Amino acid sequence: MPLFGNTFSPKKTPPRKCASLSNLHLLDRSTREIELGLEYGIPTMNLAGQSLKFENGQWVAESGSFTGDHREMQRLRRRNQQLEEENNLLRLKVDILLDMVS
């Protein structure tokens, strides 16, 4: 028997209060978004003077932000197409040469 009584006597915890007193958790998602203001909109950002927005999992330039760079993009696309065609032609030549060797 301990000298000063029971050394381990934890106090009882007070009962928990109700988790939520509002009825917003009973509403459907769209009503909650309207009530709580959870419409964030499309994420946008500005990089080097160009405005970009996030749509369908990709960052897309907003219309009108590529005024000066539009020609450069077209030139690069044409050059890319030319290189792809040249690459396909060279692959065909290599295949033909390999067939001739074997």
Residues 69-100: pLDDT tens digits?
677 888 899 999 999 999 999 999 999 999 99
- Which comes out higher in pLDDT, residue 98 or 48? 98
β-strand pairing of 58-61 with 44-47: unpaired
How much is the pTM? Answer: 0.37
102 or 5, higher pLDDT: 102
Determine the Cα–Cα distance for residues 90 and 95; give it in Å rounded to an integer: 9
Percent of the chain with pLDDT over 70: 75
Integer Cα distance of 87 and 81 in angstroms: 10
pLDDT exceeds cutoff 60 at 11: yes
- Residue scoring higher pLDDT (24 or 9): 9
